[in-house]
Amino acid sequence: LPPARIAPSILSADFACLGEEVRNVLAAGADWIHFDVMDNHFVPNLTIGPMVCEAIRPHVGQAPIDVHLMVEPVDALVPMFAKAGASLISFHPEASRHVDRTLSLIRDHGCQAGLVFNPATPLDWMDHVMDKLDLVLLMSVNPGFGGQKFLPSTLPKLRAVRQRIDQWMQQGGQPIALEVDGGVKADNIAEIRAAGADTFVAGSAIFGQSDYAASISAMRAEILK
Ligand code: DX5
Ligand code: ZN
């Protein structure tokens, strides 16, 4: 497995001082900043957009900003987030009329491209676009809110994605990161790692604690056990 990455979701950070939150969590050992975009249409919640991404970019330094779009439609936001400093942009395939085109659009704007799978979304969506994927983001809750409980039904699905990616790379395909999002914490991160994830989103499990470094180290320790 590729080395593990921790991607704190700023959905659970203090929005009144996001710059400071982002600096603190990176100083505490985070690898990526996970940026949740909700539109009150694809999901029943409303969060942040390209302006906030641009505002935090100087506070993030060299770390990647991992934009998770929970919006419909997708395409108009891609150039805006690329300009705002996004490093990776992922979207839900059922939210785009032309999945292949949206993936190309993301790469054409200099970002890495990802597809996001809800717990009930079939993996078939990736069949014909493997060469256009830099990331698969597997939801382990239904998207829309932080602090939900990890759905164990997503573990077999995670193993299936790992298998597909490994097979693809054995055939000479480009590397594809495998990220899990929703209900991840120190308690369950070991089994999620064992099922094949290399990148771990955690919102409430990190920002809900006073000591970010302790939460992140606890997660890393569980992964290395
Ligand atoms: C859920 C978001 C997640 C969320 C995770 O719709 O995509 O990134 O912030 O939060 P936790 O880790 O609290 O489940
Ligand atoms: Zn997310």
ipTM for the predicted complex comes to 0.99
Total structural domains within the chain: 1
The burial class, CB within 10 Å (0-12 / 13-18 / 19+), for 163 is: exposed
Question: Residues with Cβ within 5 Å of ion ligand 2?
Answer: 36, 68, 181
Q: Which of 6, 204, 212 to mutate to test the pocket of ligand 1 (most atoms within 8 A of CB)?
A: 204
Is the whole-model pTM more than 0.90?
A: yes
Q: Give the range of the structural domain holding residue 147, as residue numbers without chain letter.
A: 5-224
How many residues appear in the chain? 225
* Ligand 1 environment, Cβ below 6 A: 9, 11-12, 34, 36, 68, 141, 143-148, 181-184, 201-205
CATH of the domain at 101: 3.20.20.70
Contacts with 177 (C-beta within 8 Å, 6 or more apart), sequence order: 2, 5, 114, 134, 135, 136, 198, 199
C-beta separation of 139 from 117 below 8 A: yes
pLDDT in tens, the chain (225 residues): 778 999 999 999 999 999 999 999 999 999 999 999 999 999 999 999 999 999 999 999 999 999 999 999 999 999 999 999 999 999 999 999 999 999 999 999 999 999 999 999 999 999 999 999 999 999 999 999 999 999 999 999 999 999 999 999 999 999 999 999 999 999 999 999 999 999 999 999 999 999 999 999 999 999 987
